């Protein structure tokens, strides 16, 4: 199938809005490939920390992004054959990922990588600029959002369930700071794409959000 004809569902939104869970389950239900673009930035951040890369050197960080050995194996994420699925979810890694995502050289280094995930029969891509920059002609664009408090509660539960200590006030502060960086960065700021369906999940379960996205997509597909 011609690449431009392969359907894409772009799901964007702020940290802890539930977009990862929704996008992954929608991809499974449709039999599509899945791209967690945020993981690529987190992998860059983790790799830079492990290599003790100068975090003030934009071009050094871009080289880290360009030369990473990354494999997505089901729910597992491998960095140079090391399972880092849990490691990339650490708060330190997430905060650094948000900072380096504002660097043009890093974004350019990962641009082609993300486009490469568009393969038949289709792709569900989640992130912050999937519908605005990476896949502007996606068949369906969804902007998943939720209140800061709801997102902090979800993040708190995720961390506690994994046996990681967490403080609600710190989580709220981190989310607000990350939202501010993401929405005000000069390159590809976080914002709903043109034509995106805005879905507030503050009072929705993950399953309800999944069904809503599937319903929206079904309306876009010719019978």
Whole-number Å distance between alpha carbons of 23 and 53: 32
53 is in an annotated binding site: no
Q: Is 14 annotated as a binding residue?
A: yes
How far the first Cα of the chain sits from its last, in Å, is 19
116 is in an annotated binding site: no
Q: Is 16 annotated as a binding residue?
A: yes
- Residue with token string 């068949």: 139
What CA dihedral angle connects 42, 46, 47 and 51, to 10 degrees?
150
Residue 44, annotated ligand binder?
A: no
Q: Name the token pair of 107.
A: 């974004």
Q: What is the 8-class DSSP label of residue 33?
A: E
Ligand-binding annotation for 131, yes or no, is: no
Is 17 labelled as part of a ligand binding site?
yes
19 annotated as ligand-binding: yes
| 113, 191 Cβ separation under 8 angstroms | no
Beta strands 197-200 and 8-12: pairing type? unpaired
Report whether 20 belongs to an annotated binding site.
yes
Known binding-site residues for ATP equal: 13-21
| Binding site residue list | 13-21
């Amino acid at each position: 199938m011609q690449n431009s004809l392969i359907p894409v569902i772009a799901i964007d939104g702020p940290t802890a809005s539930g977009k990862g869970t929704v996008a992954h389950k929608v991809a499974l239900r449709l039999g599509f490939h899945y791209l967690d673009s945020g993981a690529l930035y987190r992998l860059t951040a983790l790799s830079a920390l492990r290599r003790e890369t100068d975090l003030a050197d934009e071009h050094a960080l871009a080289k880290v992004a360009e030369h990473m050995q990354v494999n997505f194996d089901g729910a597992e994420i491998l960095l140079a054959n090391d399972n880092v699925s849990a490691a990339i979810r650490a708060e330190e890694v997430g905060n650094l990922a948000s900072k380096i995502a504002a660097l043009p050289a890093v974004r350019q280094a990962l641009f082609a990588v993300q486009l490469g995930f568009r393969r038949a029969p289709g792709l569900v891509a989640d992130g912050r600029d999937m519908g605005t920059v990476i896949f502007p002609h996606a068949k369906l664009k969804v902007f998943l959002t939720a209140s800061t408090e709801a997102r902090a509660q979800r993040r708190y539960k995720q961390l506690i369930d994994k046996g990681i200590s967490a403080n609600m006030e710190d989580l709220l502060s981190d989310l607000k700071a990350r939202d501010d960086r993401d929405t005000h960065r000069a390159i590809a700021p976080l914002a709903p794409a043109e034509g995106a369906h805005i879905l507030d999940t503050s009072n929705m379960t993950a399953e309800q959000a999944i069904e809503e996205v599937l319903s929206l997509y079904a309306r876009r597909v010719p019978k």
